[in-house]
Amino acid sequence: MSSPFSVCVYCGSRSGQRPEYLGLARDLGAAIGRRGWRLVYGGGRAGLMGAVADAALAHGAPVVGVIPESLMRLEVGHSGLTELHVVDTMHQRKQQMAECADAFIAMPGGIGTFEELFEVWTWRHLGYHDRPIGLLDTAGYWQPLLEFLGRSCAEGFMDAKQMAMLHTSDNVESLLDLMAETTTSGRPVDFGQI
């Protein structure tokens, strides 16, 4: 039996200042569950991470968390998941999350979310995978970053082909539809080669 379509979600271990962020996390988790998909994420119980996981679980989705031992207490590892993998390093965390995913979505978050997004985007650019990458926007959260990336293109450091690898939407269902339509389901990929 094949595994369900798996979406790796990157998001904050904090909830942010706007209630829309928490609502977005719950909507995304619920939509993943309703579709019969699997959530893969960083394994935390706090902030947007915990909200997306709880909503996915409540709607019947299997949820796989991956968290380094050093962050188990800091991010309060979620004990109610379908699977919780405790690893040694951040690199192992990101590698295992990526290997389990058919698509990637970044929600609002901080430097950890940015780093995960840019790394998986770089891996796509370099040809290590061809899975879709989405930005789930709300309250214009990602707009300043997208403007800066446009500036990078204008200055000749990036190009339209790289920008086209990012799909942005403020609508959960539309973005999930796009992830399903554009995936090649290239699993397995050995991200250990990176």
* Helices and strands counted in the chain (H then E): 7, 7
SS3 of the chain: helix, strand, coil, percent, to 5: 45, 20, 40
Length of the chain measured in residues: 194
pLDDT band at 120 (very low <50, low <70, confident <90, very high): very high
**How far is Cα 31 from Cα 4, in angstroms, rounded to an integer?**
14
pLDDT digits (tens, 9 = 90+) for 10-43: 999 999 999 999 999 999 999 999 999 999 999 9
Q: Which domains does the chain have, with CATH numbers?
A: 6-182 (3.40.50.450)
pLDDT digits (tens, 9 = 90+) for 149-158: 999 999 999 9
**Cβ distance 44 to 50 under 8 Å?**
yes
**How far is Cα 143 from Cα 66, in angstroms, rounded to an integer?**
29
Show Cβ contacts of residue 155 under 8 Å, excluding neighbours closer than 6 positions.
none
**Cβ distance 5 to 37 under 8 Å?**
yes
Instruction: Please name which of 155, 63, 68 lies closest in space to residue 100, comparing C-alpha atoms.
Output: 63
DSSP annotation of 134 reads E
